Structure formats: C-alpha cells, structure tokens
Structure 1
C-alpha cells in the first residue's frame, strides 16, 4: 500500500507535515513499515479541500491533522486486513 500526502502550498499551510508525522507514527506503532509506504506529492489538484491524501491509485481524500487516526483505522487498517 502506498499513501501519498500532498505537501503543496495549500496543504502545507493546513498541516500536511503534521499529517505525515502522525501517519509515520501509526505505521510504526502497528509495525506496518514493510506493508505501507509513505510518499509526498507537490500538488494533487484538490487545493480547496486540503490536506489531500491518496491511497495507491484511489480517489483523493481530505484529512486534517486531528482526524489522522480515524483515517488510518478506516482506510489503512481496514484495507490491510
């Protein structure tokens, strides 16, 4: 699984690096380093709904630093089981 987080201007201002750090933490906490790859992209064309995140080639999702855990449980753990 590849999780891509936008780090473009709008997403950066809305907390993309906080989202990345939270995702890193959850990936490590769940020992998923060998199953989940975290990448950054400079623009996903979803600037009005930042922070933009995509799993593999799926649709662009919008998350905020305060709901990373919910996103992780639903979209990452939910797809790996």
Structure 2
C-alpha cells in the first residue's frame, strides 16, 4: 500500500491543500484504488513557497489542483 501525505499546515492550507485532498480522493475512488492508497494529512514539510506539499516514497511534490492528476500518475506509476 502506498501512503500519500498531503501537508495541511498553514501555508499549504492557504494554497489549497483541501482542494488537493478532495481531488486525490476523487481520483482514488474513480480508479478503485482505495485498497492500494492511503491518503493522510501531514504538517509542514518545509516546502511552503512551492505550493501544496505532497510526499510519497520520500519524494516531495509541489501540487495544485491544476497538476494533481499528473502528480498522482507519477506517484502511482500509471495506475
């Protein structure tokens, strides 16, 4: 199971972390990946100026609602 951590700290919250979480949950549901992906909240990852910080497998991505699907593809390797 992959664990995807989405920062919900102050800066990421202002930058749209709630929308990113909502979009990722929709992607997970649409693809039937609920048994393969765990989406959890996290606090500051130190990337506050880059957008919503999302971490998986020790890689931190800068995510917005505009690129959430692209980043999800990278994380899941095409699933």
Using structure 1 for the length normalisation, give the TM-score. 0.88
Displacement, 1:38? 0.1
Provide the aligned length of Structure 1 versus Structure 2. 78
Moved more, 10-19 or 64-73: 64-73
Which structure has greater strand proportion? 2
Structure 1 stretches of 4+ moved >3 Å: none
Conserved 8 A contact 2:61-2:71: no
Other-structure match for 2:64: 64
Which structure has greater helix proportion? 1
Q: Which runs of 5+ in 1 are unaligned?
A: none
Q: Quick one: distance in 1 between partners of 2:78 and 2:40? A: 18
Other-structure match for 1:40: 41
